[in-house]
Structure 1
Amino acid sequence: MRRRLLTALVAGALLPAGLAGCGIPDRTEVQVDGRGPAGEPGTLNGSGSQPPTRSATEDPKEFITDYLAGAAGERDQAYDRVKKFIAGEAQGRLRKKQSSEVELTVVRLLEAPEAQLLTNEGNWQVTVRVQQVGVLRADGTLEKPTAPETAYKFKLRHADAGSQGLVMTDLPNVLLLSDTALRQYYGTHTIYFWSSDQSRLVPDWRYLPNAVPVERRVTEVVRWLAGGPSEWLAPGVTRVPDGTAPINNATGTDERWEVNLTMPAAQDDRLAKLATQLAWSLPDLKGQLDLKIQNQKRRTVDLEQERSAHPLYPNLRAPERYCVYGGAIHPLAIGSEPVGAVPVTADANRNVVSAALSRAGDEVLAALVVTRSDQKQRLVVGTGPNPVAAFHSSAHVYRSIGRPIWLRSSDRQHPSGLVVADGTLYRFDDAAGMSPLAGLSRAVTAVAASLDGHRIALIMGGALYVAPVSVDGGEISVGTPRPLTTRLTKLTAVDWYADNQLVFAGNDGRQPAIYQTSVDGAIETPLNRDTGAPVSHLAAYPGGPSGALPSFSFMYQATVAYRNNPVGTKIERSQVRDVADGAKQSDPSVPFFFY
């Protein structure tokens, strides 16, 4: 499997190609060609690798904007770069830590800095109003915010004689980094950990300064894997064996690399698992990698063959679009995209409100929300060869059931999914048995699952969260949800847009809108600033490019159904297939993908 991304979407990959990428445009229509896992829309890497230093500017707003980027780059130099912005008498206000402990508080500016002239001598106070995005740690993880501040104030004066520009005389005792600087001076990298049952690789999102030399990037990936997953993801994945650590830096050329490790009890099966992790965590590295344990060569890996033999998402097929029309599931015909037949029998395809269809080998997994005559809803579930004929009904009925989802990581012998019913998140099985999931403190209104099946996104109390999922046979548990900071409020819908990207809907000021964000909430991009009506339903295709359908495709309902290719395109009645002659006219609703 090999990524072939258009130059407009150059991934922030590791070595040797693809080291530069693109900033996120305000609006994006991404077309991807080839096979394999999707690249990430909005992959970071700005035009420059070095953050700004204090300049001779007399503009206090420009000065603070530069200061909020000054800590970017190599950690051991962060304080030295920032000190150049601070007046000598105020440098003690920022207490220095060891480089391994340096943490950057990442903030999103809600508006341009506000400058107030305090004296005629050129003393200024600058206020920045922010959202707390997270804490960027030395291992490249962005953890949840810890600071409560919604604004920061800085005081400036003219620099001392012999120097030009401004310096700070008062500042908060924290290393700040704007999300804009994070985009410009860092590359994003995906590393992989095995799921809790060690059946599938699960992505973990990291940041690395562009200023880090090329030859060190393989070493950083090895250190990240040895150091373990991001804090929020840890309950859903397996760490490498305790005590694993790199010995010196990785060395090599374009065709052959060498990684030397300590690894207690380094059995062949563990080395095989690690080899697959390294192959996918270094996606643009070609040739061979020699894996040594305490200077003894134990395994030689052909990286491209390893990726081909262990695909991230086996059996991922070309997606097909469907919708609900007149209370039944119908295929949609969009351009040259593949059009399928409804994979459930006509007897089951009645009174449908929403549906989830998934493939498990040669079988179809179908979960339908149906309405009874008393307007209450129940979940019906069926599995089997196409078309599915035998269905089971949930034991209880509910006032409202959200869009069900199948967990693609589930054991094929025990397929299962998640659904929200009357504000509670339930796990369901192939017999429509529903069990509430513990550990969620707020009412849930929407749930979505990543393609790997070990991460979910949740909307709870109108806010966005992500959480890890552990799957062990028929048992499913959800880890502690991690909140994501967004500009939107009163969120209504969410889905996975790519490996590490979410698409979600809410209010942008006074208007309903759809945004994209990274899995840690740091890199947020508007996709549709005004959907015309609140979005009640949202479904995306998060997989790799396959067939005529581009990655990063989504459909939504805002009174009527729309798609994003291009964004805001209404799904017409004429695009609904297999409608019986003389059927009552209605609008397509709750569109979704089958893959």
Structure 2
Amino acid sequence: MTPRRRLAAALAGALLLAGATGCGIPNESEVKVDGQVAAGKSGSSSFQRDEPPSQKASGTDRITFVTNFLAAAAGEADRAYYRVKQFVAPDGRSQIQEKQPSEVALTVVRLRETPVITETTDGIQVTIRVQQVGLLRADGTLVPPVATESEYRFRLSAAQEDKPDAGWYVTDPPPNVLLVSDDALRRYYRTHPVYFWNSDRTRLVPDQRYLPLTVPDERRVTEVVKWLTAGPPEWLEPGAGRLPDGTRLINNATETDGQWEVNLDMPVDADDKRVEQFVDQLAWSLPELDGALELKIHNQSRKKVSDLAAHREARPAYPLTADPQRFCVYDGAIHPLNFPGEASGPVPVIQAVNRGVVSAGLSRTADGLLAALVTAGPDGRRRLTVGAGAVPVSVFQQSPRSYASMGRPVWLRSLSPDRPQGLVVAEGRLHRFDGTAQLRPVPLTAQGAVTAVALSLDGHRLAAIVGGALYVAAVNLNGGVVSVGPARRLATSLTDLSAVDWAGENILDLAGSVGRPAIYEISVDGALETALRKDVGARVSHLSAYPVNLVVPFSNANLMYEANGVAYRNNLFDTIKRDQVLEVTPPQDGARAGNPTAPFFLY
């Protein structure tokens, strides 16, 4: 399949994480999604139109009323207070202090259990026990939570005593807060990707925003342009840059006969490259649009694009050129895995170093491969072995010292092939390494032992498990030195976290426990969770995913993991078997075959 056909297929078949419905955590799912929007006709798309139900929609059902109350503020900010007030008793509405639409922020919570409704001498009392998820701003960003409450209480009264079907009112809503459940976030918003250039403008870095379903097509382009001109969110700023100071949208974006026009106020010294790169940002931030676009600066035409889909194809967001390949560790050596319909390749390193391997991380370069191997000596201590070159990689360096423990190494997908770098966890600390295999500590603002790290496809964001909690942070590569910005903690239903990897541009796969070992899919801001498997059977010790993207899509199962010494892939959660491991010698008569372990992707 050609890149263009592959891209078109991905756009047409992309699914929406936020489009799933249901209360609480959805059912288990093998579907991998990444918040992309389906392709529509040139210059448009067919978004679902939906807004929260009215106060009367629940009838006499009190649980449904509470669920609807926790959705009332969802949607466009200019009507948030109006919708909430319809659920509040008339004599209490004046106590709700309204803010300007641009200042509206919704407190997103995850319900830990079904609301508890009890009859008391003071009336009907509702108790909701919650996990604070974040604060949803009017610009579509979900920032870390401000509220700390783990429980909210309010009372209900009949809307009309003589008309039971008139429903209920909230008589004393939680003060100074607009509550929205994560289920309402999932139901009434689309996740929408936007892209910012990194600080040296060599790589696009994704961010996730939330767009109400009620926003009409003709305003969607305007909203995206406003997001881009406002710049990245705070946590992403160390790894992403801004447009020139003073850049703003003049009027709204307009569409005529399938062609969009965007008019910017941009500093007069903005060169053609800056203009071209803004068009790249806009094309990737509107993946559902495939028509024409004209960019104007101060009402003067500066750039015309006749086909946005072709523009994206010509300027891919990531330097991916081939399908991912699966590998594993078998009897202490790296081996390729064979699955029908998937690409496969030879053992990528020479036999002399392919011994005593515990885990590995491989990354393609323009002219070869980067290889990082964690090996175990007779005493069980770990060393890192690093090499680069044509396949099979033959020149390696080994870390000068050994470590009591070491996790799976991951490569930064940097645009400096002469200075490859990666990250690895050793003895509870995060380290960076280069081609010399020297490990150097990387400071983190999060406190506690680091037990896992994963790097995004763009190379400017990491996810880490620190002190038993999940964090994300921006990665800066200025001057060739890896530095990590302030870590942002993500809310999750899982405890006892053990492994994490990027499953998409703004999606993580996370292993932990919900009473039993489980694997969940979680958005990069912690707001949206999907249970991939609620009972793995044993604690997951290793997890690897291929991040879903529009440059090189992958239609097969993109998650592999290891639990209790057995490796799995996630389409049917079936075991990876010995006969699926290539380039191994069959065991001799009577000998017991080993198990494939530590599976991972090469891309």
TM-score, normalised to structure 2, is 0.91
> What residue identity is the alignment partner of 1:300?
K
SS of structure 1 residue aligned to 2:283: helix
What is the aligned counterpart of 1:396 among 366, 377, 401?
A: 401
Pairing 1:250–2:258 present: no
Higher mean C-alpha displacement, 361-370 vs 110-119: 110-119
Counterpart of 1:589? 597
Pairing 1:474–2:496 present: no
Counterpart of 1:208? 211
Structure 1 residues 551 and 543: alpha-carbon distance in aligned structure 2, compared to 1, 3 A threshold: farther
Higher mean C-alpha displacement, 105-114 vs 160-169: 160-169
Pairing 1:219–2:222 present: yes
Structure 1 residues 289 and 348: alpha-carbon distance in aligned structure 2, compared to 1, 3 A threshold: same
Counterpart of 1:269? 273
Cα distance in structure 2, aligned partners of 1:9 and 1:339: 25
Structure 1 residues 22 and 316: alpha-carbon distance in aligned structure 2, compared to 1, 3 A threshold: farther
> What residue identity is the alignment partner of 1:458?
A
Q: CA deviation at 1:147?
A: 0.9
Counterpart of 2:134? 134
Contact kept in structure 1, 2:339 and 2:580, CA below 8 Å: yes
Counterpart of 1:94? 96
Higher mean C-alpha displacement, 200-209 vs 437-446: 437-446
SS of structure 2 residue aligned to 1:419: strand
What is the aligned counterpart of 2:328 among 320, 323, 326?
A: 323
Q: CA deviation at 1:55?
A: 0.7
Contact kept in structure 2, 1:338 and 1:548, CA below 8 Å: no
> What residue identity is the alignment partner of 1:299?
K
Counterpart of 1:70? 72
Q: CA deviation at 1:297?
A: 1.5
Counterpart of 2:31? 30
**Residues 161-176 of structure 1: pairs in structure 2 closer than 5 A:** 164-173=166-175, 174-176=177-179
Pairing 1:412–2:417 present: yes
Q: CA deviation at 1:462?
A: 1.2
Pairing 1:489–2:495 present: yes
> What residue identity is the alignment partner of 1:251?
T
Counterpart of 2:291? 287
Q: CA deviation at 1:321?
A: 1.0
Q: CA deviation at 1:217?
A: 0.4
Cα distance in structure 1, aligned partners of 2:158 and 2:338: 65
Counterpart of 1:307? 312
Q: CA deviation at 1:555?
A: 0.6
Q: CA deviation at 1:202?
A: 0.8
Counterpart of 1:465? 471
TM-score, normalised to structure 1, is 0.92
Q: Deviations over 1:143-181 (max 9, x none)?
A: 111111111111111225687221111121200101111
Contact kept in structure 2, 1:40 and 1:501, CA below 8 Å: no
Q: Deviations over 1:197-253 (max 9, x none)?
A: 211111110001111111100000000001111221111101111111111110013
> What residue identity is the alignment partner of 1:228?
G
Counterpart of 2:383? 378
Pairing 1:436–2:438 present: no
Counterpart of 1:354? 359
Higher mean C-alpha displacement, 308-317 vs 349-358: 308-317
Counterpart of 2:119? 117
Cα distance in structure 2, aligned partners of 1:22 and 1:544: 20
Q: CA deviation at 1:58?
A: 2.6
Structure 1 residues 473 and 411: alpha-carbon distance in aligned structure 2, compared to 1, 3 A threshold: farther
Pairing 1:449–2:455 present: yes
Structure 1 residues 125 and 3: alpha-carbon distance in aligned structure 2, compared to 1, 3 A threshold: farther
Counterpart of 1:559? 564
> What residue identity is the alignment partner of 2:390?
P
Counterpart of 2:156? 156
Cα distance in structure 1, aligned partners of 2:134 and 2:304: 39
What is the aligned counterpart of 2:547 among 535, 542, 550?
A: 542
Cα distance in structure 2, aligned partners of 1:41 and 1:388: 40
Contact kept in structure 2, 1:382 and 1:430, CA below 8 Å: yes
Q: CA deviation at 1:568?
A: 2.0
Q: Deviations over 1:84-131 (max 9, x none)?
A: 111122224422111110000001111111101124xx9310111111
Q: CA deviation at 1:541?
A: 0.8
Counterpart of 1:575? 580
> What residue identity is the alignment partner of 1:282?
L
Structure 2: any 5+ residue segments left out of the alignment?
A: 40-45
SS of structure 2 residue aligned to 1:127: strand
Structure 1 residues 533 and 68: alpha-carbon distance in aligned structure 2, compared to 1, 3 A threshold: same
Structure 1: any 5+ residue segments left out of the alignment?
A: 13-19, 33-37
Higher mean C-alpha displacement, 527-536 vs 260-269: 260-269
Cα distance in structure 1, aligned partners of 2:355 and 2:95: 68
Cα distance in structure 1, aligned partners of 2:189 and 2:395: 52
Question: How many residues are aligned here?
Answer: 579
Cα distance in structure 2, aligned partners of 1:573 and 1:399: 29
Q: CA deviation at 1:21?
A: 5.1
> What residue identity is the alignment partner of 1:64?
V
SS of structure 2 residue aligned to 1:126: strand
Higher mean C-alpha displacement, 574-583 vs 435-444: 574-583
Q: CA deviation at 1:41?
A: 10
Contact kept in structure 1, 2:576 and 2:596, CA below 8 Å: yes
Q: CA deviation at 1:299?
A: 1.6
Structure 1 residues 355 and 513: alpha-carbon distance in aligned structure 2, compared to 1, 3 A threshold: same
Counterpart of 1:364? 369
Contact kept in structure 2, 1:411 and 1:473, CA below 8 Å: no
Higher mean C-alpha displacement, 381-390 vs 50-59: 50-59
Q: Deviations over 1:350-406 (max 9, x none)?
A: 111110111111211000001112211110100111111111111221000000000
Cα distance in structure 1, aligned partners of 2:405 and 2:315: 40
Counterpart of 2:42? none
CA RMSD of aligned residues (A): 2.4
Contact kept in structure 2, 1:542 and 1:552, CA below 8 Å: no
Cα distance in structure 1, aligned partners of 2:549 and 2:596: 26
Pairing 1:54–2:60 present: no
What is the aligned counterpart of 2:187 among 181, 184, 207?
A: 184
> What residue identity is the alignment partner of 2:450?
V
Structure 1 residues 480 and 22: alpha-carbon distance in aligned structure 2, compared to 1, 3 A threshold: same
